[in-house]
Chain A
Amino acid sequence: MKILNIILAAFRALRRNKMRSFLTMLGIIIGVAAVITMLAIGQGAEYSVKQQIASLGTNVLIIFPGSQQQSGIRVGAGSMTTLTEDDAQAISTDCPAVAYVSPGTFAGGQVIAGNLNWATQIQGVGVDYIQIRDWIVQYGSFFSDQDIKGATKVCVLGKTVADNLFPDSDPVGQNIRIRNVPFKVIGVLTRKGQNAMGQDQDDVILAPYTTVQNRLSHFPYIRQILVSATSSKSIETAQKQITELLRMRHKIARFEGDDFTIRNQSDLANAATATSQILTILLASIASVSLLVGGIGIMNIMLVSVTERTREIGIRMSVGARGRDILTQFLIEALVLSLLGGIIGILFGVAGSKLISSFAEWPTFITAFSILLSFGFSILVGLFFGFYPARKAALLNPIDALRYE
């Protein structure tokens, strides 16, 4: 019960100096709010990168025609013609580590449905495409091998396209015109959201690649082959098997470079995750500096107040306060300041993160970890920076403290 008294004394002392208490707290408030917000931004970035990677489909490999230098610039425009439908077929039959294969091509174009029109990208893909992309047809169905072989004019709409062309009606079974070629809508895909570049992945129309080649792009080659490995462990094996197969099929001599490029999505994903983790750590450490500065602020104020309140300490000692009572009181004062500052800082940090996500359209992600971290950190700051001034106060001699001018 004595400790309760001392806590009460600490609160009274803080109340006596409202302005000073508030200013001291402000340092901690800003520090904690900054840490929370920065962690939320960083973890939001990490989270959305992970989401986007998942939305790409799992275990995905993309094969492009043409070689790629280490810098990532594709060279040799003529080599854009090196991938064929047969290559895709061969990969699916000859590479055991490969689960699904989809040749791909694309065309841009204006799409008209009734009196509405929409400019979008038309992806020519194979039947396996939605398996590779982990995509689901929400309404209707996907096209079949028959559609590919016959190059029938059917298509499946991405959610954005469906919403824009058919705001009030069911698109399935309707006809649309893509670059004046009539297509029948046979399905609508589920929403996938943005990709890693911030593009809307649902702003797309999927059609048999044969149809796109013949009717829209008039480009008889394959622009890419999308492949998924049988599991995340077999990605490298799949990559090796595809490389060997394509080199053999393209009759590339041993010392020559590939005339195609395989991009491993999980490599990209790992790099992106690592980058966003570094971002999180960087942001959090910058924010921690401000928390540290807040802590030094507490120490500064507590030191000033020990000096300023020397007589008060003397008076308290003269009526029976022990050194450790004084120590406890000053520590509690510092702790209360940092705790209260921490709590308010957390509130501000959470509010700030929400504001940022709604205004900057940047996803933020507040974890229990970041709250515990900044809360724990502010307690530590209070204890650490409060201890020295508190001890200084506790070691004063009663009579010296009383005589202090």
Chain B
Amino acid sequence: METNNSSHLSGDVSSSKVNSVLSGETKNVNGKLIEIEKLFRTYLLGEVEVHALRGVSIEVSKGEFVAIMGASGSGKSTFMNILGCLDKPTKGNYKLDNIDVGNLSRDELALIRNKKIGFVFQGFNLLSRTTAMENVELPLFYSTVSNKERKEKSIEALKKVGLEERIYHYPNQLSGGQQQRVAIARALVNDPSIVLADEPTGNLDSRTSVEVMEIFQKLNEQGITIILVTHEPDIAAFAKRHVVFKDGRIKSDKINSNTKNASEVIKTIPSIDEEDEE
């Protein structure tokens, strides 16, 4: 998959451009949300170079639902961290919503993470001893919204993931699936244009996993772009596009013509209680 000719857009990207994009002024001409060209990421472990990514090029349009798969150590997490502006590539171009991320300062990257990206981690990464509500509020602390708006948005996000009953629960009072839903609500709360999820179902049982996928599918239907990493083909089956990594490169990139509907799959999985009754 080759990138389209957009190199003339790269280069001069100032923070004013970041701001204009964030305020929605810039029109994305070609509808591409992510444009990545020959991305490399090399870790230095003492004298040893570990090539985690060796020239990844990919484009993702708005509204896509991509599953990234591949063997352990193939560079999926490394790739996701760069997508999420948590890490910087060693080499290569990354444009998010037409902003050349490679040229941004630390503070500008923080702004991008705050406004454009919602990240969901395998290990949930919630603040302990902090209520679901306060966890979800977190991104809004670093943007300019009023207290009232912050509360409303957080409750709305918690409703989207079906946790409005649990807003004052602490993470240790929630199941793994519920914790992951809190994390998803946190990712959603600032209306990101993309949600990135690195093995979001990795710590969950199969039924809970499908429930989480149901949420992602609903979000995707509302127009949010979703990229998730998974090892399980069952999970990837809910995505519309499959990208497979191997040794730091993209091995295959296909449309999933047989996308499953999570809401329907759930009905076929008996809950544990029902199993007990059998």
Where the two chains meet, the residues of A that have a C-beta atom closer than 8 Å to any C-beta of B are 1-2, 5-6, 8-9, 12, 16, 311-312, 314-325, 397-399, 402
Contacts and interface: CB of A to CB of B under 8 A. Distances in A.
A319 B107 contact: no
B115 A312 contact: no
B144 interface: yes
Contact of B87 (A2, A8, A311, A399): A399
Interface residues of B, number: 29
Interface string B80-115: 010010110000000000000000001100110111
Contacts of A8: 141
A241 B127 CA distance: 85
B278 to A, nearest CB: 41
A315 B142 contact: no
A320 B130 contact: no
B139 interface: yes
A320 B86 contact: no
Contact of B86 (A2, A316, A325, A399): A399
20 contacts: A2-B144, A5-B140, A5-B142, A8-B141, A314-B125, A315-B125, A316-B138, A317-B86, A318-B86, A319-B142, A319-B190, A320-B111, A320-B114, A320-B115, A321-B110, A323-B110, A324-B107, A398-B87, A402-B121, A402-B125
Which of B110, B138, B190 is the most central at the interface, judged by chain A CB atoms within 10 Å of its CB?
A: B110
Given A2-B142, A312-B127, A12 B107 contact: no
B39 to A, nearest CB: 15
Contacts of B107: 322-324
Contacts of A2: 142-144
Contacts of B134: 12
Nearest to B189: A319
Interface string B141-158: 111101000000000000
Given A6-B141, A402-B86, A322 B130 contact: no
B127 A398 contact: no
B127 A322 contact: no
A323 B106 contact: yes
B65 interface: no
A389 to B, nearest CB: 19
B216 interface: no
Given A312-B127, A321-B142, A322-B106, 15 more contacts: A2-B142, A2-B143, A6-B141, A9-B141, A12-B134, A16-B129, A317-B86, A319-B119, A319-B139, A320-B110, A320-B190, A325-B110, A325-B142, A398-B87, A398-B113
Counting from the closest, the 5 A-B pairs by CB-CB distance are A320-B114, A319-B139, A320-B142, A322-B110, A5-B141
A97 B226 CA distance: 100
